[in-house]
Structures are given as structure tokens and as C-alpha cells.
Amino acid sequence: METVFEFLKEIVSNPSIRKTTLILTITFSVIWFVYQTIADTSARKNKNKYRKSFIGQIVTGKSPEGNDKPKSVSPTNTPSKKTTNNDIDMDAIIIKSLRRKRYLDKKDENKKTSRGYNAKDTYEDLRRIISYSDEIQKFVKEAKGGMKSKSISSFRVKVTGDKVEIESITIPPIKINTNQAMTIKDVDSLKGMINDNRILSAFAYDAVK
């Protein structure tokens, strides 16, 4: 302890050492100031960064704790959810239109199905599957027993063993086996595949007049 005091006394009493110490102190202070200025400038240019210096944090209001908060992500392409005014009649209208090979009436296009999906989008998904049934069956026949997938029109067909999934833009995947896939040709051939209370109501075909 006495040695330390002697060392400090020597620094204070020796002009040469005092001068050197002062120069070093000023030099390190300048370096520190330059570093802090660069860090603060970087933080101002990037809103996701907080300032390094205490003064900079006061100015920007950013701190390490606040910087790590996760950002909220807006969901995209989420399917429509059920609403209280969904009507099974809309399901029947879709089936009737597909059966007669007619488009939906304008007044029905923005309505919801019994499952809460947009009526026009549901109609279009099913219409494309029927229109491209030959290509679906050709691919299923080639891929049967394996594990393959293929994009056809606006949907994707996945084959895993004897299981088939047809993934469309709006409606949930149609999950069937290879034998069922080979029978698709019109809307009536989809009975038992789409009226499963996921895509359309179980009573969708029963309500068709």
C-alpha cells in the first residue's frame, strides 16, 4: 500500500510525468468521444439500433432492452373464418353452378360458404380441380406408391404412398386416396371428398334442388 502512495506522489510531484499523464488522458478522451460520435451517428441512420452512449440513449429513447422486442408480423393469405351469418344454401349454389357449368351470379360472389370461405374463391378452386382432373389422374398414376408433388394450374397435388392431397389457394386440402383421385371427373364425383365439414357442409349435396 505504501508503494502505491509513493508512486502516486511521484506522479503528482514530477512535472514530466504529470505532462505525460495529461497528454494520455486527453488522447484517450478524444478517442472515446470520436467512437461515441460514430456509434450515435450509426444509430441515427438505423432505427433498429440504439445509441451506444448514455447521452445518445437519452436523445433517441432507445436502449438494449427495448431493442430486443420482437416485431409483429402481419399474417398473409389467411383463409376466411366462419361468421355467424354463413348459410348452407351458398354451398348448394356452388355445387349447382358447377354441375350446370355456369359461373356464380354476381350477387353471390362475395358471400361466404358455410365454412366461412369466399364463395367465388371456393367455386374457382373446385372448378379448376374438375377442369384439370385428367392431369391429376395422370400424375397420381405415375406417382402412386412413391412420394411426389406437382403443381397443376393454381393448385398442388401431393402423393404419399396411396394418399393424395390436393392443395388449393382458398379451400383446405382435399385429402383422399389414389382410387378416389382416379374417379374425379365432375362435381358429383367429388361427393364424399368435399362435403366433409371442412370445405363444404356435410349437407351441401342434400340441399341441392
* pLDDT, averaged across the chain: 79
**In this structure, what are the phi and psi dihedrals at residue 110, rounded to the nearest 5 degrees?**
-100, 10
Query: How sure is the predictor about 41, in pLDDT bands with cuts at 50, 70 and 90?
Result: low
Which of 29-33, 34-38, 74-78, 180-184 holds the top average pLDDT? 180-184
Q: What is the pLDDT of residues 71-114, one digit of tens each?
A: 443 333 444 444 434 578 999 999 999 999 999 999 999 999 99
In terms of Cα–Cα distance, which of 143, 184, 137 is closest to 162?
143
Average pLDDT over residues 45-49: 48
- Cell numbers found for residue 75: 399474417
For the cut 90, the answer to whether the pLDDT of residue 151 exceeds it is: yes
Euclidean distance between CA atoms 52 and 34, whole angstroms = 12
**Neighbour tally for 196: CB within 10 Å:** 15
